[in-house]
Each structure stands twice: as structure tokens, then as C-alpha cells.
Chain A
Amino acid sequence: NAGVTQTPKFQVLKTGQSMTLQCAQDMNHNSMYWYRQDPGMGLRLIYYSASEGTTDKGEVPNGYNVSRLNKREFSLRLESAAPSQTSVYFCASNPGAGANVLTFGAGSRLTVL
């Protein structure tokens, strides 16, 4: 049982380049999330999708876009990467309303030069 799978695990970009982080879960969860983790700042919510077909902004959405492609997949796109987006990105999922235990992927380390 793979749980939550993120790709890529590591990526180096130059300022202005674009990229997409992929996330897939095989637990039939309804809700999916993207967080970023910076030193000393805990995890901050970027975007989330409460259910297939819906997406909402979190605490720090600027500079990002998301797509809930289907129930399994939730991607995060950086259209024009900036050094401030250097971070570790985590995807997570949970079953949805009433059963909210969060399961995380292994993380994606992104460096923007």
C-alpha cells in the first residue's frame, strides 16, 4: 500500500522556470493538501482540495496554482519560480469530513537559484 506518493523528491530550478509537483494517493481519500515547510516556521498550508472538483487557498497561496485532476491526484504548479519558493513541499490527504487523520507523503525538496 503506497499511501501518498510525491514526485519528484528533489528538484533544482533557476529563477523564472516553471515546474509541477505531482501527488497521488491510493487510499480513496476525498481531501488533499499541499504544505510547505521552511526552517523554524512549521508547515504552512498552500492550497487544499476538500473533494474532487474543488480547490481552495490556504495560508500562503501566492505564486502557486493547483489542479485536482481526479480523486487520486492533486498537483502543485509554480509558474515562475522565485528563490523565496525554496522549501520542502509536502502533500497530504485524509478521508474527509468526520475522519480527519492526515497522511503525508515523503516530501519534495525544491531549490530555486
Chain B
Amino acid sequence: GIQVEQSPPDLILQEGANSTLRCNFSDSVNNLQWFHQNPWGQLINLFYIPSGTKQNGRLSATTVATERYSLLYISSSQTTDSGVYFCAVGYAQGGKLIFGQGTELSVKP
């Protein structure tokens, strides 16, 4: 099956710093999403981005489908950005998604 690898596995930042999270996948996909899991366990969809670039405030994401990777950029990080960021990819009808193991981000004040 398709493999999803995220890097780095964990990251510690000072408030105000920028960061880039990477997601590599092993096969062609027609669905790619980024999620944030906050320290209380809630999973929130950040981006639906099977290709191209999107921005939402301080967050942006780029997927280069032909090269099988996606990047999530966090600028001017805040303590509320802490948590785990997951990349998930899909390649079949029905929206079934396979998740990477996540990047755990800790933003220090």
C-alpha cells in the first residue's frame, strides 16, 4: 500500500519562529490533507491540497504531486500552534485517507 512519511518527527520552536513540515508519499494520490491535533486531542482540518498552493493566515501549504511531496509552512509561530501535524493521502474512491505518523511541534513562549 501507499507509504506516507513525515519529517521531522518532532520540532521545538521559540514563539515567532518559522517552520516547514514535510510529507513524502510513495504513489500518485488524488487527495492530500493536512490536520492539526491540539494538545486536547481534537483533530482539525487545515488544508485540502492534492496539488498547488494554498494559504490561510500564517499557514500555507504546497503540494508537488509529480514529485510526491507536500510542505506545510508555519510563519510567526504561536504557542497555540503546538500539537501534532498530520499529513494524510488518498488515492481511491470514497475519500479513504492514509495518515503519516505526524510531526510533533512545541512552541515555547
Contact = CB atoms under 8 A, between A and B. Distances in A.
Interface in B28-44: 31, 33, 35, 41-44
Contacts of A100: 31, 33, 48, 90, 95, 97
Nearest to A43: B99
Interface residues of B, number: 23
A110 interface: no
A91 B30 CA distance: 22
Nearest to A104: B43
Contacts of A82: none
Contacts of A102: 33, 35, 45, 88, 95, 97
Given A104-B43, A106-B41, A96 B101 contact: no
Interface residues of A, number: 28
Interface of B: 1, 31, 33, 35, 41-45, 48, 86, 88, 90, 93-102
